[in-house]
Structure formats: structure tokens, C-alpha cells
Amino acid sequence: MSPAQVHEDDTRGWIVPVGGAEDKLREPTILKRFLALSGEGKARIAVIPTASQLDDTPGRYERIFKDLGAEKCKALPYLERNDTDRDDWHELLEDATGIFFTGGNQLRLSTILGGTRVAKTIRRRNAQGITVGGTSAGAAILPEHMIAYGSVGGTPTAGMVSLAPGLGLTNRFVIDQHFRERDRLGRLLSALSYNPFAVGIGIDENTAAFISPNNVIHVEGAGAITVVDVSSLEHSSIAAANEGEALCLTNVKLHILPQGATFNLQNQEALPPAKNGD
């Protein structure tokens, strides 16, 4: 699934994957920044709670964004594929200045929204400049390749991870969420062993990667982002490894980036947070 083309008169919108469990009440800095990028007091937010099966998820996010100052916030609870044919909901999607996916099960997102006009519209609107983000499962779905599920552990092994098509906003990276809390380095490395084109982004809870239109990651939140750069990978044993066998990956570069740090997806340059006075 290829990202939508950005026309010469447009600038792609921000992409905002959140690692899950973001602070929603005490210090909601991540959601505040998402709202600011979506227009602040003029923001019209479309929340897509499809990944969640909790009844209170749609209303909770509507209240949160309205309390933060959004002009409008409406949840679009696509529960079945035929819900994506609703014209009234589609008009809200077309009018939104920000689109946010809640957490839950990312396979619910891909199986209900994949290939529909909703998915195509979200790709197009991000290519036209609006902000699109999501938390937990809603983060995993954003790129072209999505981690569907996998095992825990720090050592990558053959068969450790299963991939599925994502939303396709970009093909530059693969996301894994709840990263440090759920010990997911091994499955992210396993995902990257298949094809070293993408950058791996492991996002801790209450932490977000604010990815600018010029493809620079800006880290926000209480945890860190683990960036796995396989652009100079020299060897991957995935093609010959047996199920459950530890993988051999050589010349892999890893960065741990806390709040204020950046990573350029174009030239693979990582920069630490600026010191006070810089």
C-alpha cells in the first residue's frame, strides 16, 4: 500500500504515533501538542475508536479534546466495514483538521478499514496537510507495514513477529508501542530483518514521535523512543533461520531518544536534546 502522493502545492501533514497510556488528565502534553498542530482553538478532530471494544472510548476522547480547547470533536465508531459507507461520517472526516486513532487491537483497524474509502481519504488528507496520529494500536496502523502481533523478549528470533498491511501514510518506518514496558526490542528487530528499508521506532508509554512534514522525529513525553537504524545492515540470517532460532543481524545502529531529541529519517542523523541556552 503506497503512501498518497504529495502534490507540489501541498505539504504533508504531521504524523503522530503515541506509545500508549498517554497522560489524558494531569499533564496531557502529547494531546495538547497534537491539538495545536491540528489548529488549536479552531481544530476539528475526528476520533476513530475502531481498535477499542470499550463502550466509553469514543465519548472519553471527545470530552478530552473538547476540554483541551478543540472547536469540534466527533468520534466515528466504524464497527463493521459497511460503516465506512456512511456519507455523514465521511463528511466529518473530510472536514477534520486532525484525525486520531485510539488504542485497542490493530487488527480490528486493518480488517475493518483496510481498502475502504476511509483509509484512502485519511492518506489523501494527510498528504494534503492535516495531522494524523494514534495511540498504541492506533500508532501501529499508521505506516505501510504494521506489526500485527509477536512475542516478547530482547533477542530477535525467526517467527517472532507477524506483519500486516497498515494504513500506509508512509513507508519510511515501522512502529512498535508500549516498547520498554513490554520488552519488544526483539520483535521490532525481527520485523526489520525482513527488509532493511524501513527504520524501526519503538515508543515507550506516555511518549510520542511527532514526525514533521520534512521527516524529522521530535520526541515528546515521559519516556523515550528507541530508533533502530538498519540502513547499513550487512547481514540478516532471516532467510535461512529455522522457526524459533535466534537471528544474526550485523551492523545495526540503535539510538535511545528522550524528550527533546530528534531523528532525521532522511539522513539517519540523531541529535540529543538541546542544552539550556543553546
Residue 196 included in any domain: yes
Q: What is the pLDDT of residues 233-273, one digit of tens each?
A: 999 999 999 999 999 999 999 999 999 999 999 999 999 99
**Burial of 222 per CB tally in 10 Å (0-12, 13-18, 19+):** middle
Q: What is the pLDDT of residue 14?
A: 98
Q: What is the pLDDT of residue 2?
A: 60
Assign 126 a pLDDT band (cuts: 50, 70, 90). very high
Q: Which of 13, 4, 9, 40 is nearest to 129 (CA)?
A: 13
Task: Tell me what percent of the chain is helix, strand and coil, each rounded to the nearest 5.
Answer: 25, 30, 45
**Burial of 181 per CB tally in 10 Å (0-12, 13-18, 19+):** middle
> The domain containing residue 73 runs over which residues?
15-266
Q: Is the pLDDT of residue 111 over 80?
A: yes
Residue 2 included in any domain: no
Q: What is the pLDDT of residues 144-160, one digit of tens each?
A: 999 999 999 999 999 99
Q: What is the pLDDT of residues 156-171, one digit of tens each?
A: 999 999 999 999 999 9
Q: Which residues are catalytic?
A: 136, 178, 205
H helices, E strands: number in the chain: 7, 17
Residue 277 included in any domain: no
Residue 149 included in any domain: yes
Number of domains in the chain: 1
Residue 222 included in any domain: yes
Write the CATH number for 262. 3.40.50.880
Mean pLDDT of 5-21: 90
Mean pLDDT of the chain: 96
Q: Which of 53, 77, 169 is nearest to 119 (CA)?
A: 169
Residue 158 included in any domain: yes
Instruction: Report how far apart, in Å, the C-alpha atoms of 263 and of each of 14, 44, 162, 172, 201 are.
Output: 15, 29, 26, 12, 10
44-48 and 72-75 beta bridge pairing: parallel
Q: Is the pLDDT of residue 78 over 80?
A: yes
Q: Is the pLDDT of residue 198 over 60?
A: yes
